[in-house]
A and B are shown apart, each in its own frame.
Chain A
């Protein structure tokens, strides 16, 4: 055995100690176990998506003529096809929800503040890419809503001033939904965005490692209690447990609420109700309230503000002399988000 480990260490000159030091992130007691998992949850779900996504890609055909039929084939004929498709669909929902919850946790604990502004930007980028994955994924099914949702998205892109038309043409591979649109969405969904996500995650985690996790001081905490605990194996086991809980949850959801198949996309018939996926309900409602140009511009502004929040927060706390100003704004924003989402979900048109 020792000859084998010699063989190995000659060729891979990294010792176990070095690795352990590299990865053993001390986890502060506050971020006790379960709250801290809000970061790992979307990462784990992303892995689930990669695995189930690859499996779906084995049977999916990204051509407008056969896409729908291939999804039907997976759902109705392939052994366990309905199950893996259901996992993929539910993991998408849960992943987006987990990302949003994680962001809220980061926001409300002020973890974006100096010197972690750049990581906040990476995190915002992760959010954008995740939403992009959610959108492109649904458009691949080539149901009615897939087609018309993509068309609507193209039209919205068009209203962006100056670059709108150009962006729309790049997105749809033409002026309207055509034969090249679906393959383009497919490559975005299956290659470009996942790779971007992986790279961003690596940077995101690297940042966390080098900065470390802020240890919040809470008054009632006894002084002599250890301030942190080891990532390996303590937190790792927690994450493993959570991973299993997520798998059980996903399995249950995929079984009880399986992924269905709506009517096939028909370019000649616009359905009565066009709605995006739930995670776009808020912006869809915003769009319907304010008309395309204003809505697009205002949403662009909001996104920009979100990206720049660390600096805005700094300015605001200085101006208002209140450390909690961001918290109050955050509460309002969350209510707005939930309100718009629920409103859109309740309304038919």
Chain B
């Protein structure tokens, strides 16, 4: 190879080298472009929270680990930013250089998330605590436990049991989903709750005498009443007057939106015999698709818009809360897309007034005026839900489904719910059952009918789970009604008659018979009644016997004919 050739070769190789370097530069530009806008991926602990992390990393390293995985950590929001409390707060205390409170309420979160706080506070979720705070939650407090402590039967080996806390079922059961009314222990052994503190709109207590009563330990930390805390119920009634707990859905301390998008998250509370939404979803085709395609649904992405980031399957959040590509942003008020409320014994259409409460008014004109003055009609709500459905289903499909659903709810309402309610009202009004709830069998029967089976049926129809609509639903409703409730009501009437209360007995019987004579219930007693009639007329003279015999034969023949053709 001559020199010249070598030189040219070197020149050529130099250019190839240059080309490789240009490629390298191209890669660098691409890398930089990809990384621009991304926050530094290592987490730095904000200076104010450095001490917290130092200590708690030893005490409870899980908390720190979870926090480090959160978006809060990426943006530099640490412990103090959320836990910091005003010194005037009822539950504030001084802790290693900071004034903090243990419980972070939605009001605290609203400092940075005001929109979500607003939406959530108007939602039914935030009102979940009402069921316990002021209503008589008889079942858990009295039937399953005791409102006042009671003596144990005998000692528990290995443990000192002074008095039995009868509110335990309420505390570990109902309250954990619905939310407790947070209480601090008072110096005199009593409790201090939001009712005593009377907080202003900033959450600071106005009743300083109540604050003074709060018992504190040596570190001046207020003592929380164990029956009300730990509690992350979605309707928790907090000391600062706010309702709810954001951690209920956005588990702390990673506050993962990914988790909140998954049905298992809602399933923590929305499951079970009385409202098996989780099980219903899992049966439905939506749930089947989700289980199969979960990993492709971009659960980790920052925005999660149906139609843009995923379309494989809807989750609870998708239909009830999440953003979608037809112009709806995320809402923290699931009620804005629900057209029937299936919670009460008799389902109601969700026309809501300006205070987001369901309108119970029956007069159509009055209803309409309430809706018009800043309320929201059930049609609007259904339309919002429809926009979600339209991502995968056509308009006709959705309309036809809603017809099926509406028909189902109305059937339940009219055939079983309203009659059942009427019978119970009649028994109560005529004092044939005691004022005490749940002390008679028929009260349990009726409760099962509307609160468990009836709800299951309605939820099953609403979310496309036929098994729950039928076998776990209406089938059991029907059995409960015909085979338990009617006979039990009649038994009560019989006892009443024997006890000489004919008037009351007759009134109730009238109600029962009126219901059973209706065309939809007629099948139940038609044949029995005919047979009874036959029995009654058998006591007459002999020539009637033939006629009756013929009638009976005709009946038999008819029955056989029915059996042959019917089923």
A–B contact, 8 Å CB criterion (strictly below)? yes
User: Which residues of A does B touch, CB under 8 Å?
Assistant: 33, 69, 76, 79-80, 82-83, 233-234, 237-238, 240-241, 244-245, 247-248, 251-252, 254-255
Q: Which stretch (B8-16, B337-345, B353-361, B406-414) binds chain A?
A: B8-16
Contact of B24 among A69, A80, A238, A244 (CB under 8 A): A80
Q: A252-B20, A255-B23, A255-B27 are in contact. Are A245 and B6 (CB under 8 A)?
A: no
Q: Does B562 contact A (CB under 8 A)?
A: no
Q: Is the CB of A248 within 8 A of B6?
A: no
Is the pair B17, A248 in contact by a Cβ cutoff of 8 Å? Answer: yes
Besides A79-B32, A251-B24, A255-B23, 15 other A-B contacts (C-beta < 8 A): A80-B24, A83-B27, A234-B6, A237-B6, A240-B10, A241-B9, A241-B10, A244-B10, A244-B14, A247-B20, A248-B20, A251-B21, A254-B24, A255-B20, A255-B27
B252 → chain A closest CB, angstroms: 27
Give the complex CA separation of A218 and B24 in angstroms: 46
Cα-based distance from A222 to B27 in the complex (angstroms): 52
Q: Is B159 an interface residue (CB 8 A)?
A: no
Q: Which of B1, B6, B7, B17 contacts A247 (CB 8 A)?
A: B17
B28 touches A80 (CB 8 A): yes
B1 cross-chain contacts in A, Cβ below 8 A: 33
Give the chain A neighbours of B13 by CB distance below 8 A.
241, 244-245, 248
Report chain B residues within 8 Å CB of A247.
17, 20
Specify the chain B residue showing the minimal Cβ separation from A244: B13
Does B483 have its Cβ within 8 Å of any Cβ on chain A?
no
Q: Given the complex, which residues of A lie within 8 Å of B17, measured CB to CB?
A: 244, 247-248, 251
How far, in whole Å, are A238 and B16 apart by their CA atoms in the complex? 16
* B135 contacts A by Cβ under 8 Å: no
Q: How far is the CA of A69 from the CA of B28 in the complex (A)?
A: 20
B27 near A244 with CB under 8 A, answer no
Report Cα–Cα, A252/B27, bound state, in Å: 12
Is A83 within 8 A of B9, CB to CB? Answer: no
Pair B3/A234 contact, Cβ less than 8 Å: yes
Residues of chain A contacted by B27 (CB below 8 angstroms): 83, 255
- Which of B6, B25, B35 gathers the greatest number of chain A CB atoms within 10 Å? B6
Closest A residue to B41 by CB, please name it.
A76
Closest to B28 in A: A80
How far, in Å, is A249 (CB) from chain B's closest CB? 9
Closest to A72 in B: B42
Contacts of B21 in A (CB 8 A): 251
Q: Given that A244-B17, A247-B17 are known contacts, is A237 also in contact with B24, CB under 8 Å in the complex?
A: no
Closest to A258 in B: B27
- A interface SS class: helix
29 A-B residue contacts at CB 8 Å?
A33-B1, A69-B42, A76-B35, A79-B28, A80-B24, A82-B31, A83-B27, A83-B28, A233-B3, A234-B6, A237-B6, A237-B7, A240-B10, A241-B9, A241-B10, A241-B13, A244-B10, A244-B13, A245-B13, A247-B17, A248-B13, A248-B16, A248-B20, A251-B24, A252-B20, A254-B24, A255-B20, A255-B24, A255-B27
The docked-state distance in angstroms from the alpha carbon of A33 to that of B1 is 10
Give 9 nearest A-B pairs by CB, closest first: A244-B13, A251-B20, A237-B6, A241-B10, A248-B17, A247-B17, A240-B10, A244-B17, A83-B24
Q: How far is the CA of A238 from the CA of B25 in the complex (A)?
A: 28
What is the bound-complex CA distance between A233 and B1, given in angstroms?
A: 12
User: Which B residues touch A79, using CB under 8 A?
Assistant: 28, 32
- Nearest residue (CB) in B for A80 is B28
Bound-complex Cα distance A237 to B28 (A): 32
With contacts A244-B16, A248-B20, A252-B20 known, is A238 near B6, CB below 8 A?
yes
In the bound complex, residues from chain A placing their C-beta under 8 Å from that of B23 are 251, 255
The minimal Cβ–Cβ distance linking A88 to chain B, given in whole angstroms, is 14
- Measured between beta carbons, the chain A residues less than 8 angstroms from B6 are 234, 237-238, 241
Closest to B7 in A: A237
Smallest CB separation, A21 vs chain B (Å): 20
Docked Cα-Cα span, A247 to B25, in Å, equals 15
Q: Which residues of A contact B24 (CB under 8 A)?
A: 80, 83, 251, 254-255
The distance in angstroms between the C-alpha atoms of A60 and B328, with both chains bound, is 50
Determine the chain B residues whose CB is within 8 A of the CB of A241 once the complex forms: 6, 9-10, 13
Distance, CA A76 to CA B42, complexed state (A): 12
CB distance from A37 to the nearest CB of B (A): 13
- A234: nearest chain-B partner, CB-CB: B3
Closest residue to B6 on the A side, CB-wise? Answer: A237
**Least Cβ distance of B255 to chain A in Å?**
26
B424 to chain A, nearest CB (A): 66
Hey, which chain A residues are within 8 Å of B7, CB to CB? 237
Which residues from 4 to 63 on chain B have a C-beta closer than 8 Å to any C-beta of chain A?
6-7, 9-10, 13-14, 16-17, 20-21, 23-25, 27-28, 31-32, 35, 42
Chain B min CB distance to A41 (Å) = 15
Within 8 Å CB of A69, what residues of B? 42
Chain A residue nearest to B9 in the complex (CB): A241
Q: Name B31's closest neighbour in chain A (CB-CB).
A: A82
Which residue of B has the minimal Cβ distance to A233? B3
Q: Find the B residue at minimum CB distance from A238.
A: B6
| Cβ of B14 to closest chain A Cβ, rounded Å | 6
Point out the residues of chain A lying under 8 angstroms from B16, CB to CB: 244, 248
B35 CB to nearest A CB, Å: 8
A83–B28 CA distance with the chains assembled, in angstroms: 9
Residues of chain B within 8 A (CB-CB) of A80 are 24-25, 28
CA distance A241 to B10 in the complex (A): 5
Specify the chain B residue showing the minimal Cβ separation from A240: B10
**Contact residues in A for B25 (Cβ distance below 8 Å):** 80
Q: Determine which residue in B13, B21, B27 has the highest number of CB atoms from chain A within 10 A of its CB, and name it.
A: B13
Nearest chain A CB to B41's CB is how many angstroms away? 8
Whose C-beta in chain B lies nearest to the C-beta of A69? Answer: B42
Closest to B29 in A: A79
**A247 closest partner in B (C-beta):** B17
What A residues does B10 contact at CB under 8 A? 237, 240-241, 244
